[in-house]
Chains A and B, each alone.
Chain A
């Protein structure tokens, strides 16, 4: 460590004003603050004396993502092996199936993460050099979040295009980290979603495949052509649930729904069908790399809450929002529509928490402190709105099976508006107290 420090200290005059590589100062500064806590002090104005500056805050999100990354790798490999029966390295399979899944997954997922980081990092460096701002660890978070919400089968050039859009249009043109109004990772994801729908839509199951004659994907039989397209983002249980036909009675619809989800008779689903609650909670299903496991997200959430980076108000608001909305939907379906309604309405509310990208979006996407609402009341409203919109899009909107990404983006857009009203109301309240 001492040696490293010495080398850095020696190279410092090169980068400071008047040095040969003066233009590349952001690079030097970035490396300095990434690895050490520099001794610089603020030269003017008031400042906060705290170890945890923005860089440390951002890196703690990456730490919280570790369970999701690891499980995502394992799961990507696992699903791949389920489909193909063999991986790139058959000899590892003999050692231990779990290890084989993990190794397979690393080879599927790592390129995505590397491309996302490399391209995002290049843009960040270009902008910081030209615009002379610090290189921020924000891009580490953006790059990782973006990689984790992609299907593992995504072509790497799309990763590059998406992350370029997210970093440049979503963040840098507003002046870099902390200035943007939309979550850059979600902006990138939405950009890919609308531009290359064939590779990104949630309608088809993804699983990384090598062979063409595969017919059975682990849990559900799909046609060959769909496997070859292999574009999917984690909503298959949602799609299955939304396509269940009504049976006329409420009880019948409910049973049909549960059967469709678990792929087994209703009574047996307690011991674990394919999309049983616990299976989806653990994340043993196809989906985007990091979002399948609610359990991994929960671990990340606990870490983020303890560190104090994410707001519990937003998470709680989102969960309450979707649960209350699904109760309301169920109530309306049961009492006003007499069972003549899509069985999807009758899905137990807690299922919504583990399906699709809800857990991931709730923990990592919606809580982004830059794009979320800033006031405390605003955070509750913001979270509740996301929850309700997620439910609306999932149940009522036939265009998309999953709505977490778009619901969060929509509320990102509205969050300054929400804040404005909260602040206004607060001013009014205080004024009335004074008079």
Chain B
């Protein structure tokens, strides 16, 4: 229990996907102009991250690693291919599924669901999961927490950008430049929980 807690704290704060590993930067910078979009994208990332990471864990452990299903052959060299395919497929499937059963959620996530399939943070989480030999519980916990960390980062950035909309930023720094600066300063703040 304590381990899981410290793992999730680590994934949310000091080893934040965005602020420590710079994964998922593109959508982080592009979609943080408005609170609503940031909120939707963040939720979608939490959702997809958790599901794909779990799926990939299952695929890794039951299909790729030597076992009864693949006739005791080591197929881990197909890892990358499988993970990407899983992510793309899961996102497609989720899109159809949500559209059918939860149209309200589908509307709010909108374009972000397909966008997420190319988000580096999603693949990153799966690869970290492989790299660190997580158990299924740890993998679910890790991916969910990473998603929460990503959500927290993008939503704070969006709020800060809304606050700074009328500030007099030097011309060369306007737009993406100042966003990078804010991101750097945010990484400072996220260090608060390093070591928990």
Contacts and interface: CB of A to CB of B under 8 A. Distances in A.
A and B pair up: yes
A409 B188 contact: yes
A182 B190 CA distance: 13
A397 B189 contact: no
Interface stretch (B103-111, B120-128, B159-167): B159-167
A79 B160 CA distance: 42
A417 B169 contact: no
Contact of A173 (B162, B178, B194): B178
B167 to A, nearest CB: 4
Interface in A151-190: 169-170, 173-176, 179, 181-182, 187, 190
Interface residues of B, number: 27
A406 B192 contact: yes
Contact of B170 (A173, A400, A403, A420): A173
Contacts, number: 88
A39 interface: no
A409 B169 contact: no
A414 B163 CA distance: 11
Contact of B155 (A175, A389, A393, A417): A417
Nearest to A412: B189
Main secondary structure of the interface of A (DSSP, over half): helix
Interface string A322-361: 0000000000000000000000000000000000000000
Contacts of B159: 414, 416-417, 419-420
A182 B193 contact: no
A399 interface: yes
Task: Identify which of B173, B185, B194 gathers the most chain A CB atoms within 10 Å of its CB.
Answer: B185
Contacts of A173: 169-170, 173, 178, 181
Given A174-B178, A176-B168, A194 B173 contact: no
B61 to A, nearest CB: 33
A68 interface: no
B98 interface: no
B182 interface: yes
Contact of A194 (B163, B169, B188): B188
Contact residues on A (Cβ < 8 Å of other chain), bracket: 35 or more
A182 B167 contact: no
A33 B168 CA distance: 22
Contact of B167 (A179, A392, A406): A179
A196 interface: no
A397 B168 CA distance: 38
Contact of B163 (A187, A393, A398, A416): A416
B192 A181 contact: no
Nearest to A180: B167
Interface of B: 35, 155-156, 159-160, 162-164, 167-170, 173, 178, 181-182, 185-186, 188-196
Interface of A: 131, 133, 169-170, 173-176, 179, 181-182, 187, 190-191, 194, 389, 392-393, 396-400, 403, 406-407, 409-410, 412-414, 416-417, 419-420
